[in-house]
Structure 1
Amino acid sequence: MVRTRPLKVALLGCGVVGSQVARLMTTHADDLAARVGAPVELAGIAVRRAGRSREGVPGELVTTDALGLVTREDVDVVVEVIGGIEPARSLLAAAFEAGASVVTANKALLAEDGPTLHAFAEKHQADLYFEAAVAAAIPLVRPLRESLAGDKVNRVLGIVNGTTNFILDRMESTGASYGEALAEATALGYAEADPTADVEGFDAASKAAILAGIAFHSRVRLEDVHREGITEVTAGDIASARRMGCTVKLLAICERAADGRSVTARVHPAMIPLSHPLASVREAYNAVFVEAESAGRLMFYGPGAGGAPTASAVLGDVVAACRNKLGGARGPGESAYAQLPVSPMGRVTTRYHISLDVADKPGVLAQVALSFAEHGVSIDTVRQQGKDGEASLVIVTHEATDAALGATVEALRRLDTVRDVASTMRVEGE
């Protein structure tokens, strides 16, 4: 049967990403039609304020009636790039009810309520695509959902937030403080006016939840992800990492337990060896390292943010959704058959780097070592520097559980000879 009308796409949001999606759909219209097999046209663009001037965006397509747009009978695909939980969730639910497929870049919504969106897609036999929700233009979601569908993924380790990677890179390469590096990131447009979502790890944690769910065929929500940001990373931490032949990165780590009965998902700063592929990821770039049973180690690298890169991923999903509409097919749905529970952070096992400010007198190291031994944490190396009655101890442990390390740190804080636990950082990627 020959289709007589174009496929219609409704766009929710016309900010940095949305305006690029509109531009690409207009300038690449002929190519999109050839790739899909039918013309693909914008049905409308929903915005909060219609009066603003938007370069390259046809004014006649702009509307403030988002609900009316997504429920139009002629709309085949709804693209959502407004972000946040509401009204995005309600609008996408209405789009599915109206029979449209959905393409979204909304990591926060997927991490908090992804199962509900998948359920709507399944109920109405529609597609839900979200490549742009994790690492922008880097092809990552589709390889995990499709290319590795026949394999067993054991670990996903990655840098998934460009803002924090830029800040940590500047701290290492220029010696800038955290505050100075954040100010530069803000001036260059890498950091928002309120950088909390990035620097406190919320953005990366949402992406970790999405990746863990896909990789392990289990439902992982944002609340399941252990989260720490980079605001406490100091120049001393950067220097200590350098002395160890490491660098500091904010990592998203999703792992299958050794017995295969549970998974963990966490986001936190960590020291990684300079020999690890992720150590060379600089500035605002992203990279994700995937370890699969048969495929082995795979690395995905590229720009993880920005209007054009994110729009590229969105358009790839639009093409897939439109092809399915044209052919009467569906893309992959939610795969949560494994239903593996998410273990608490206390069970995670790794190495640790601990910096202590202590009194410079005999017996201090013995007291400190006893605290580690009493909690079952084995010491690998110790470095001590002393001056004017004060000293610093830098200790690197062998592998231990996070719970054991936490108990050790609390015990150290109670020692009269320990003036401060200056920093604690995990050592990963070895």
Structure 2
Amino acid sequence: MPPGILTLAADKVTLSPANTGFMLICSALVMIMTPGLAFFYGGMVRVKSVLNMLMMSFISLGIVTILWVLYGFGLAFGTDSGGFIGWNGNFAGLSGIGLTELWGTSTIPVYVFAVFQLMFAVITPALISGALADRVKFTAWALFIALWVTIVYFPVAHWVWGEGGWLFELKVIDFAGGTAVHINAGAAALGVLLVVGKRIGFKKDPMRPHSLPLVMLGAGLLWFGWFGFNAGSWLGNDDGIGAVAFVNTQVATAAAMLGWLAYEKLRHGSFTTLGAASGAVAGLVAITPACGAVSPLGAIAVGAIAGVLCGMAVNLKYKFGYDDSLDVIGVHLVGGVVGSLLIGLFATGGVQSKAKGLFYGGGFEQLGRQAVGVVCVLLYSLVVSYVLAKAIDLVMGFRVGEDEEVAGIDQAAHAETAYDFAGAGGGTVGRRGPALGEAQTKKVEA
């Protein structure tokens, strides 16, 4: 994501109503991704934790928005200091910005760029929450969000996208967030998991999704919103690059869904709705850094490779014994790494920049740059997230009590339940199966 669209020195940059309107629409599209993520995650958990899962995403809309206005935008996109952080007093409280003041050399106001970037900052910590389903205190999670975006997300966003940021100056390509969003969130999820541990009953009790229709709805909203996420990241479409990003987003997502389903059929013998939804999200993640660097044919390759590799990666938690509840590491960390590194292979040099990948005659130079970005963001986020989670755990405890976890966090933390079974008598519901013609019982989880 460039800090501004480059223009010829002779051109006078003026505000573009068309680009401004386009970017406001893209900002709204990225905003709807957070509720979409809430539904996606909410459908994947058990009945007793649905509301808590929804709230873990929604609370990010509140906390991150306020912090972004107060100081986050300044830290991420203010004047660079040493390549690691930025600051601009006029960005504090968004109080020193003119109504029509343009962002860099782009044709959109600073306010529009700020709100677009805000939506990226909101969804990134929300992504982490899927790894922690069913077992963390809501207050501890809210505190973690505030600390994490301040110490991890805002600086990393500056490294990757801020003019003067050290990864930006190294020419690491991250069109819309493969490193800054997905690798960052996936590595953070692993760091926190090392502190909070596994759910009670992990690998013993069934922990199936309670509502696959909600999962599919969430995946659909994410897919829809992702067009704003990716196509908007060029800050306009005067030169057609945003259109290429839009096309590549659709193409890679489709390829990843098919790749995941093919792997799933070979591995498990079925085409599942959960696999289709997860594969689509894996494709969205992988094409995010690459959508402005590859051709549509390259996007097919990125998506298909990510679909298969992410499908394989989600099973690693059972092999290595870490409880990534909703596969944040397998999808977002692995997908982000795959998409970022494949730029070094498939970049054509004819879209957002002249940098070419290995398969287009560019040698290993861009692949090396991408690898540096991947490793550094991954390690920084992993280590700092672990330290933050450990500190919170020592001060107030990060995990709910055993009784609350077994009974479900919804009632304990939110004094509500997602579904009202009172009309059916609650507890055990008796019904007669129309095909079997015999009484069946169905236990409803509290």
TM over 0.5: no
Higher relative contact order (CA 8 A, sep 6+): 2
Larger radius of gyration: 1
* TM value normalised by structure 2: 0.29
Judging by fraction of residues, say which structure has more helix. Answer: 2
